[in-house]
Amino acid sequence: MTDPSFEAFRKQLGEAAGHKDRAALARLVAPSFFWLAAQGDKADRKKPAIDNLAAAIELDAVDGGGWELLASAAGDATLQPLPQRKGVQCAPAAPVFDEKAFEQLLRSSRTEVFEWAYPARGSVAVRASAAADAPVTETLTGILVRVLPEPDQPPPGGAPAAGAPGSADGPGGPGGGAMPPLRVVTPAGKTGFVAADAVLPLIFEQLCYVKDAGGWKIAGYLGGE
């Protein structure tokens, strides 16, 4: 998205998230905010839009996860249309790949969708061990990669522990951030480690936007039970 007004909106969103300014955030939420979850639209039309957004992303959680989600969203310029709602676009945009080939891959590898992820951006360094200074053994560029569970632990019941887009060599790199690095199987069939924020799961939740006469607004949220 190259719309300058969307870039300005993302800056406002980032500032509101950074200061945890609920009033500023409320001004960025569309009155018709929707929350499409597994059970349908969970938005309570009797409540203000900001309250529905807060409930959807757990904005009031003690760990501040809701604000972190918004900060991450502010840094993501990718968008994809939401077909069932005219003019609405959601982020992050889903990766484009051959779905039939992926279905065959799942069958042949006997894996589930939640075990796979894709590079968050550009290239991702795969290191020989979890150490931040471990040798780079391979580089991932725009290709699906399988995320392995930790040794002696069952696979996760949802998406792999992948975070917001980031650099494999930044603070979230192997051994360098709060989240431990992920063990992956590369396309070459070798195991290695990548930063937890360097890859994104194929199953994820999305924040949606719409542009009206007053500019861009948060239109809704896709995710939840």
pLDDT, tens digit, 9 for 90 and up, residues 136-176:
999 998 788 999 987 654 444 444 334 433 333 333 344 44
Residues 13 and 65 in one domain: yes
Q: 78 lies in which domain range?
A: 4-92+204-222
pTM value?
0.69
Rounded CA gap, 213 and 103, in Å? Answer: 42
Question: Residues 53-89: pLDDT tens digits?
Answer: 999 999 999 999 999 999 999 998 989 999 989 999 9
Residues 130 and 63 in one domain: no
If one compares 163 and 40, the residue with the highest pLDDT of the two is 40
Lowest-pLDDT choice from 122-126, 171-175, 198-202: 171-175
> Under a CB-based contact definition with an 8 Å cutoff, are residues 220 and 100 in contact?
no
Q: Which two tokens stand for residue 215?
A: 């500019």
- Tally Cβ neighbours within 10 Å of residue 219: 23
Residues 107 and 197 in one domain: yes
Residues 11 and 62 in one domain: yes
Residues 64 and 134 in one domain: no
Residues 68 and 132 in one domain: no
Rounded CA gap, 84 and 55, in Å? Answer: 23
Lowest-pLDDT choice from 115-129, 172-186, 194-208: 172-186
Q: How many domains does the chain have?
A: 2
SS3 for the chain, per residue?
Answer: CCCHHHHHHHHHHHHHHHCCCHHHHHCCEEEEEEEEECCEECCCCCCCHHHHHHHHHCCCCCCCHHHHHHHHHHCCCCCEECCCCCCCEEECCCCCCCHHHHHHHHHHHCCCHHHEEEECCCEEEEECCCCCCCCEEEEEECCCEEEECCCCCCCCCCCCCCCCCCCCCCCCCCCCCCCCCEEEECCCCCEEEECCCCEEECCCCEEEEEEECCEEEEEEEECCC
* Nearest Cα residue to 121 out of 146, 97, 102, 140: 140
In this structure, what CATH number is given to the domain that contains residue 118?
2.30.30.40
